[in-house]
């Protein structure tokens, strides 16, 4: 005779979850990373394994306040909120304490540089401040908000990318500045600056949109003085997937802080739908996207990790939040499957690596970057570059929902 179980279904599920968590912790303590974990945790634990302190990512020789590390900390924050695993919270806190001193001064930060990249790491400080109640983080947040008060702008009201790049707006800059700006104005100023947040998207959309493809050019020079700038429109000459990814991530993240009744909310959702439609058309049959978005398999072009991850994140979050039609979740899933199957390498101990990450790309500067197709495909391609770490975790978390 078979005896009936004394456990309810809910109790069995709870025991199963506890055993799963225990196995994960045992794997962690034995310095192996369990393949049973979600991809988001596998990547985070791999990062910690390689770089016990966050500032060591990218083989940095010393700590620094850095937009890429800020992006990584933002992804760890989202992972901590999902898992409640203190290892992620501790990793974030250790970085915060390293780059912000007890007085709230930010390492290697100069407000007068007016570099929009410096604002991005401020995003992870909001939750860190709430968790620790350490005033150093509030002071740092306020310092970054002060930068935006006097940050130079185009004549039409858009933030310059950096003081050294006058009258230029880059797609990258939307991610660097607007989600921080939106959260600050909602949490500290009753949302009084949300119109100005929206203006940044309006300006970039107005000036960089290519009506033929629906894609956005990497940058716009209002002065039309840069050699890379189109003499009539001021735009740079090519579509770079990661820059479009920055823009799309900025949209889905800023919408977190746009109240449903705000008049600009529908406009931003429409921008997201427009760019999503355009980007989806250029998804390779593999599921990935190319470094130069519209150039396909033109010689030298390659399937690039970070841009693909950012598109997956924006599509999946857009659907999860109700901004995009459900079909984009399938596109995101196809993209994420391709990333894990074609771009992820797994070591014997379970550590994972992301390949085919464009290390860095921009415009102008010294040595001069001209924004040509040849320029984008010749920038260094790296494994485990930080541009490919945070977006992987963010994409995984949204796809896993």
Place of tokens 């970057």: 369
Residue 21 tokens read as 């968590």
Beta strand segments in 210-250, E:
219-221
Q: Give the separation between CA 32 and CA 361, rounded to whole angstroms.
A: 34
Instruction: Give CA–CA dist 127/117, Å, rounded.
Output: 20
Q: Which two tokens stand for residue 72?
A: 């990584």
DSSP state of 345: E
- In angstroms, the CA 258 to CA 201 distance is 13
Q: Does the annotation mark 210 as catalytic? A: no
Angle at 57 between CA 384 and CA 73, to 5 degrees: 100
Enumerate the H helices of 167-304 as residue ranges.
171-188, 194-208, 241-254, 265-281
Catalytic entry in 66, 117, 127, 172: 172
Burial classification of residue 7, based on how many CB atoms lie within 10 Å of its CB (0-12 exposed, 13-18 middle, 19 or more buried): exposed
- Cα 229 to Cα 14, 115, 152, 168, distances in angstroms: 59, 21, 20, 10
Return the active site residues: 172
């Amino acid at each position: 005779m078979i005896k009936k179980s004394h456990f309810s279904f809910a109790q069995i599920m709870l025991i199963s979850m506890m055993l799963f968590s225990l196995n994960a912790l045992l794997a962690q303590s034995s310095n192996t990373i369990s393949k049973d974990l979600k991809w988001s945790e596998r990547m985070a634990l791999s990062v910690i394994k390689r770089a016990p302190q966050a500032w060591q990512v990218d083989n940095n020789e010393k700590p620094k306040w850095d937009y890429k590390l800020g992006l990584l900390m933002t992804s760890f924050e989202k992972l901590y909120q999902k898992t409640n695993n203190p290892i992620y919270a501790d990793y974030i806190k250790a970085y915060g304490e390293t780059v912000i001193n007890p007085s709230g001064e930010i390492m290697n930060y100069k407000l007068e540089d007016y570099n929009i990249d410096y604002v991005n790491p401020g995003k992870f400080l909001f939750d860190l401040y709430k968790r620790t109640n350490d005033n150093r983080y509030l002071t740092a947040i306020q310092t970054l908000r002060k930068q935006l008060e006097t940050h130079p702008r185009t004549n039409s009201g858009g933030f310059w990318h950096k003081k050294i790049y006058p009258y230029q707006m880059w797609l990258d800059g939307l991610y660097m500045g607007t989600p921080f700006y939106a959260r600050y104005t909602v949490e500290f100023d009753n949302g009084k600056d949300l119109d100005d947040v929206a203006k940044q998207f309006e300006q970039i959309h107005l000036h960089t949109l290519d009506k033929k493809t629906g894609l956005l050019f990497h940058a716009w020079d209002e002065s039309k003085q840069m050699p890379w700038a189109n003499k009539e429109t001021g735009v740079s000459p090519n579509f770079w997937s990661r820059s479009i990814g920055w823009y799309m991530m900025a949209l889905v993240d800023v919408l977190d802080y746009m109240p449903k009744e705000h008049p600009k909310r529908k406009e931003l959702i429409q921008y997201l739908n427009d760019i999503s439609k355009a980007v989806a058309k250029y998804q390779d049959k593999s599921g990935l996207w190319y470094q130069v978005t519209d150039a396909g398999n033109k010689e030298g072009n390659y399937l690039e990790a970070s841009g693909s991850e950012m598109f997956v994140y924006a599509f999946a979050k857009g659907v999860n939040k109700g901004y995009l039609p459900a079909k984009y979740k399938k596109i995101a899933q196809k993209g994420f499957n391709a990333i894990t199957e074609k771009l992820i390498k797994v070591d014997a101990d379970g550590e994972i690596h992301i390949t085919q990450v464009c290390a860095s790309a921009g415009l102008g500067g010294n040595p001069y970057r001209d924004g040509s197709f040849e320029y984008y495909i010749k920038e260094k391609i790296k494994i485990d570059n930080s541009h490919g770490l945070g977006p992987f975790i963010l994409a995984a978390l949204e796809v896993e929902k």
